[in-house]
Chain A
Amino acid sequence: MLKTFSKGGVHPPENKLSAIQTIEQLALPKTVSIPISQHIGAPATPVVKKNDLVKAGQLIAKSSGFVSANIHSSVSGKVIKIDSVVDSSGYKKQSIIIEVEGDEWFEDIDRTPELKKEINLSSEEIIKKVGESGIVGLGGATFPTQVKLSVPRGMKAEILIINGVECEPYLTSDHRLMLEKADELLVGTQILMKALKVTQAVIGIENNKPDAIEHLTNLTKQYQGISVQALKVKYPQGGEKQLIKAITGREVPSGGLPIAVGAVVHNVGTAFAVYEAVQKNKPLFERVVTVTGKSVKKPSNFMVRIGTPVTELIEAAGGLPADTGKVISGGPMMGHALSTLDTPVTKGTSGILILPEGESRRGKIQDCIRCAKCVSVCPMGLEPYLLMTVTELQNYERTENERVMDCIECGSCSYICPSNRPLLDYIRLGKTEVGKRIRTRKA
């Protein structure tokens, strides 16, 4: 019997169309626009001006607080302007726009492909290096990694969990990374283990990726303390709290952080980025992005420079299909529909999903039939129908008491609802309103 989390969950059609496509390097675009806010926390402060010449890997915006991240240029060329550009959040954000000239990298970066196994840095040095390299959680949440590595005083990390679940349908970027960059990933895991001072690391992978499980299991024999755990396919297993429950059986308390149960979770993409930063001196300025969809001519996995417009990726995957209904940044469950295709790829873009018109449209909203399917699939044990109702009635006190802040916004409730009710839409509204209340109470 395979391990999985206990409460709720759904199993949408997997549709991993691009699983067999090897990672391709995407050609450099003509211009890139790099938003200064690609992470959770304070936006970075630009340190370049118009007409400055930059190299790939050069710092262009500096972290502006504890929860913030450095941003590096992904190309070499000239800064043409600093302007606001619509990013995947759908809002205009300050971005540094660079015209590409050649492909010159910053001198310190080691561009040789050799695997470097020995870790020379100490725990503190690793955390500092990770912070300097602007690494954020690449699973999609984009939380600055160095913050997660700095264990709060009085707490102790016992186990490192590497998230290779990729439970979102369609997406295959993590899957390909585990197959093609397995050694780098495992060294990255060891670096993270050293930074956290833990002796045990588990890589959680869902059972629909048997090749990755086999490949990594064979390789982990050479790496001490790392093991691979196959998991039953169930969404949202990639959620931090769900993955901890599935692997360790421990439950993160309501409102608490994973460190409360001694666990730290990092994505496989993050582990790879940490390897490159620590061993090769390469800051985070490119990532693997899946471009996929049923009507897409050539579903692919690309290694993309941050700031590349989404149009370029779609063009490389065979162009925008005629029946396009929505273009989504991320997966179908938690992704965000784009309002314009000029949106740049950011650190959190794990995939570009193109849904055909028929599939993308929302169904007609009908009355709640009290079937309680949303209750049974909620992985956090909440009552989505109730949260929606009390939010609609603007009874935010009740919304808070019904633990709306525990919602991880996985969308299982909206997915399963036979009446097509916009449950998550309202729950998000409830979260925003309750969040405001909590902040004013604290202030």
Chain B
Amino acid sequence: MNDIIIYTIITVGAIGLVAAVILFFVAKKFYVEEDPRIDQIEDALPSANCGGCGYPGCRNFAEACVKADSLDDLFCPVGGNDVMKDVAKIIGIEAVEKQAQIAVIRCSGSFEYRPKTNNYDGAANCTIAANLYSGDTGCQYGCLGLGECVDACTFDAMYMDEKTGLPVVIQDKCTGCGDCVRACPKDIIELRNKGKKDRRIFVSCINEDKGGVAKKYCSVACIGCSKCFKECNYDAITIKNFLAYIDYNKCVLCRKCVAVCPTDAIHEINFPPRKKKPVNTKPTTKVEVKENTDLINIAKKNQNNNKS
């Protein structure tokens, strides 16, 4: 009995020893010369593997950094400028300062402001719904509310607000990696520069319909009235297809456009409350959906007709 154990130990040990010797020489012979800076950069990166830089993972990004001549096109949005400075130090070239970005949801069509005109009961996936039709409200541009962006977020920085049916970005957690931007089939989410004290102003709507049509189905839609365009002294606002867009590189965060917007489509975030009450308060009236667009209403009408 003891013999068996001893023989086994000797045999396995001998095989292990021989294998170790072979492996040692093989490893020497076929050693792959690799830039040690790749490992260093990888250690400096956040290791989230989110893909926000455009590469599949942090190691691929590190490899690209080592190969690159300048860091113009390479930026880790999660680590931000601090990490990029470390990376630049490792490879010995200058880092390019970039402003930190954050995702903003350019749709405010909550249940209250944008009533449903039909019910969707297909697979709970925004891309599938967007392939099928324009959505369960009269606005064909707005948020479908099925939460694909929330599923795509690597950092738990988003959640669906059950009261409004819209996604919400938790600004402390958002790294600006852009996963949600890529996930949204309606191109509603945009990455915007964070201003001073994380402040930002943006048009929270992407509806390109004419003003009347847009407002018919959503009371907080941008109607393309150009009031903000006229108010802006810095040429930051452009109007295209009945939709205003604020260029974050030109915007100086003066808040004048926010005050004049008749539908409150322009949002200001992280600003102190205004001293004077703004001219326009949030619209409280619900949008009346035309009766014949509503299946349920027609059904009710017919029911009444049948009774009478």
Contact = CB atoms under 8 A, between A and B. Distances in A.
A340 B123 CA distance: 20
A320 B298 contact: yes
Interface string B137-180: 00010000000000000000000000000000000000000000
Contact of A92 (B125, B134, B295, B302): B134
A426 B125 CA distance: 9
B122 A362 contact: yes
If over half of A's interface residues share one DSSP class (helix, strand or loop), that class is named, otherwise mixed; here it is: loop
Nearest to B305: A319
A128 interface: no
B134 A426 contact: no
A432 B121 contact: no
Q: Report which residue of B123, B127, B299 has the largest number of chain A beta carbons within 10 angstroms of its beta carbon.
A: B123
B71 to A, nearest CB: 28
Given A327-B295, A341-B292, A422 B134 contact: no
B131 interface: yes
Interface class of chain B by DSSP: helix
B126 to A, nearest CB: 10
Interface in A259-318: 311
A324 B131 contact: no
Interface in B273-308: 292-293, 295, 298-300, 302-303, 305-306
A28 B306 CA distance: 25
Contacts of A362: 121-122
Given A91-B133, A92-B134, A324 B299 contact: yes
Interface residues of A, number: 27
Contact of B299 (A90, A322, A339, A365): A322
A75 B239 CA distance: 38
A92 B140 contact: yes
B123 A426 contact: yes
Contacts of A320: 295, 298-299, 302
A89 interface: yes
B57 to A, nearest CB: 15
A321 interface: yes
Contacts of B305: 319
Contact of B140 (A91, A321, A429, A432): A91
A167 interface: no
A336 B302 CA distance: 24
B136 interface: yes
A428 B131 contact: yes
B131 A339 contact: no
B118 interface: yes
A322 B128 contact: no
6 contacts: A86-B140, A311-B292, A320-B298, A321-B299, A322-B302, A324-B298
Given A91-B134, A321-B302, A422-B123, 5 more contacts: A339-B133, A341-B292, A342-B293, A422-B128, A425-B122
